[in-house]
Amino acid sequence: MATSPLVLGPMLRFVDETSASIWVETRGGCRVTVTAEGRSWHARTFAVHGHHYALVEVDGLEPGAARPYDVQIDGRRVWPEADSEYPPPVIETRTPGRPVHIAFGSCRTSVSHDRQGNRRHGVDALRAFALAVAEGRADRPDLLLFLGDQVYADSTSKEMQDFIRSRRDIREEPGKELKDYEEYGHLYELAWSDPANRWLLSTLPSAMIFDDHDIRDDWNASLDWKQKMEATSWWHGRIVAGLASYWVYQHLGNLSPRARSADEVWRRIIGHDAVAELDLTDVIDEFAERCDAEPDGYGWSYCRDFDDVRLIVVDSRVARDLTPSARGLLDAQELEWLDERMRGGLRHLLVASSLPFLLPLGLHHVEAWDEAVAEGAWGRFAAWIGERLRQAVDLEHWAAFQNSFQAVAGIATAVADGERGPAPQTVTFLSGDVHYSFLAEVERQTGGRILQAVCSPVRNPLPRLLRWFAVVMSYGVATPIGAAVARSVKVPDPPFRWHTVKGPWFDNNLALLRDGSDGLTITWHTGVIVDGDEARPRLAEVASVVVPTRREAALVSHGASSRRPRPPRRPITR
């Protein structure tokens, strides 16, 4: 069988009521055509480091309609594949007024889906969901929202290491980690080429944001961390390749047509009139280098409104201020951008950050304490220990950047209190990163609810010993002890208290959030093997919580116990 000219994709990215964006990677320079209902849209590829890409802008669509589409390369149909076992991919435009339905999760390793891969990494929850959607056993969400660690540049699989060995000495720095753009390209191919997941990404809109492992563990944890990386022989190449490939593979598709038209790199692409393919290598490398050196010069965050539900996706990695006197998870410009968009007058305000805004309270206090110690609250030697601890056990979430935490907590409270327009029913933070899932709620008597929903991992479970460590660090006696040590270094108390409503549980999960007349429903789902069929896992519900529309109503939860989570082993059915 001849090799397909299509390397990756098609990926259905931004979709609204009248338009859609379809992204592809091809084997050579070409003209890409998307055809649906007798109409066609075209784009020429652009090149980056010998790879070829196109983003086709599909416009002039009718709202609320689902239309099958195909993709052609230089007139040859390449998608859907002739022998595909999956339904035809469709572009389904949004229906105005339809309640929003979003799937979200983070942290997904790319290994085989056979018995060996499932034993070491668990069942891929995204793939189990893909099969359920393909077979009509699960509804189609409006959006797949990936909250970080779509790829692991620093913890590579055997397949990725084999590729590295084929082109350089893996014993030399950076060893088994990624070195350049070519290796990132192969890593994305491993992540997105499984047939079931590839089909899902071709037929459901997706949005993404990076987290540390997309670049490296603890990325921008502190100024000390950054200076250590910059002193290596390989970091400059890594960060340039990582941000350049992120723009191409992930960020470009996040943008609406309006936002894309204002993007400096995209303008170079659409402004290229020559017949020959545009080589964007130098442009994208210079852009990536500048983004790392001048974090406030480009915005990776984005905002979307689904009628009266707003989704804000926040960059919590590049946009950090690591200056010790002004440490912030968000620098001043990024915080201002977020502040302008966190408003009332909505049914729900969803704030997506790869890092949980509300950690379990005990861990929150410990991270806040460690930040103060690392910044010198107990002297220079203790600061050295605090910095080592911060990097060793990943104490670098919102709680470890108290300036940003206190500022955003104040904004969220003002929104929930109705000080920025009519109070939403919920201000809900959506996050991943920590490799366990839970739901927490701020303790409030009036106004809108403030919630934290975490879904992590999609496929990369913690070892069992680390699970117990996470529980001990986060719950029980950790809360009063953490509060005491935080006060000992004069960390300000949080402006509110919160408690865990559901969780934690440690399965590979994909969460579904659905708005409805009875409130916001959030469910977590895992993949399970039935009758030894490793290749076709079934989707099973782990936990479910309904956040009622009435403020005085209690949250209704089902599924996993908050102490000993045991997901039911029954597949989801209609």
Contact predicate 439/357, CB 8 Å: no
pLDDT at 389 over 70: yes
Burial of 568 (0-12, 13-18, 19+ CB in 10 A): middle
- Give the tokens for residue 268: 């170079």
At residue 552 the predicted structure's pLDDT band, cuts being 50, 70 and 90, is: low
In DSSP notation, 208-234 reads EE--GGGT-TTTTS-HHHHHHHHTSSS
For 327-347, what is each residue's pLDDT tens digit? Answer: 999 999 999 999 999 999 999
Q: Residue 38: its pLDDT value, please?
A: 93
pTM: 0.95
Which has more pLDDT, 425 or 560? 425
Residue of 430, 437, 423 whose CA lies nearest to 452: 430
Give the whole-angstrom CA distance, residue 445 versus residue 221.
35
pLDDT at 561 over 70: no
Residue of 248, 279, 240, 249 whose CA lies nearest to 188: 249
Q: Residue 560: its pLDDT value, please?
A: 64
Q: Residue 486: its pLDDT value, please?
A: 82
Mean per-residue pLDDT, 418-425? 97
Give the whole-angstrom CA distance, residue 58 versus residue 18.
9
At residue 572 the predicted structure's pLDDT band, cuts being 50, 70 and 90, is: very low
Indicate if the alpha-carbon torsion angle 190, 70, 14, 181 is positive or negative. Answer: positive
Q: What's the CA angle centered on 249, arms 248 and 252, to 5 degrees?
A: 55
pLDDT at 452 over 70: yes
Look at the chain and count its residues: 574
The count of C-alpha atoms lying within 13 angstroms of the C-alpha of 46, restricted to the half-sphere facing its C-beta, is: 24
Give the whole-angstrom CA distance, residue 325 versus residue 379.
16
* DSSP structural state of residue 297: G
The phi and psi torsions of 324 (rounded to 5 degrees) equal: -55, -35
CA distances in angstroms from 117 to 123, 131, 392, 510, listed in the order given: 8, 18, 27, 18
At residue 558 the predicted structure's pLDDT band, cuts being 50, 70 and 90, is: confident
Mean per-residue pLDDT, 163-179? 97
E strand or H helix that includes residue 140: none
Mean per-residue pLDDT, 282-305? 97
- Those residues with Cβ within 8 angstroms of residue 561's Cβ, 6 or more apart along the chain or in another chain: none
Q: Residue 405: its pLDDT value, please?
A: 98
At residue 567 the predicted structure's pLDDT band, cuts being 50, 70 and 90, is: very low
At residue 573 the predicted structure's pLDDT band, cuts being 50, 70 and 90, is: very low
Helices (H) and strands (E) in the chain, counts: 17, 25
Residue of 537, 540, 521, 541 whose CA lies nearest to 529: 537
Q: Which long-range contacts (CB under 8 A, 24 or more apart) does 175-181 make?
A: 177/153, 177/216, 177/238, 178/153, 178/154, 178/238, 178/241, 178/242, 179/234, 179/237, 179/238, 179/241, 180/49, 180/237, 180/241, 181/48, 181/49, 181/51, 181/241, 181/244, 181/245
* Average per-residue pLDDT for the chain: 94
pLDDT at 562 over 80: no
Contact predicate 32/73, CB 8 Å: yes
Other residues' Cβ atoms within 10 Å of the Cβ of residue 67: 16
Q: Residue 421: its pLDDT value, please?
A: 97
Mean per-residue pLDDT, 16-40? 97
β-strands 278-279, 206-209 pairing:
unpaired
For 74-124, what is each residue's pLDDT tens digit? Answer: 999 999 999 999 999 999 999 999 999 999 999 999 999 999 999 999 999
In DSSP terms, which residues pair with 449 in a beta bridge? 426
pLDDT at 23 over 80: yes
Of 244-253, 260-269, 475-484, 531-540, which range is least confident? 475-484
pLDDT at 255 over 70: yes
Q: Residue 565: its pLDDT value, please?
A: 40
pLDDT at 554 over 90: no
pLDDT at 571 over 70: no
Which has more pLDDT, 317 or 565? 317
Q: Residue 564: its pLDDT value, please?
A: 39
Give the whole-angstrom CA distance, residue 432 versus residue 455.
5
The phi and psi torsions of 53 (rounded to 5 degrees) equal: -140, 155
At residue 477 the predicted structure's pLDDT band, cuts being 50, 70 and 90, is: low
E strand or H helix that includes residue 365: helix 361-374
pLDDT at 569 over 80: no
Q: Residue 550: its pLDDT value, please?
A: 73
pLDDT at 559 over 80: no
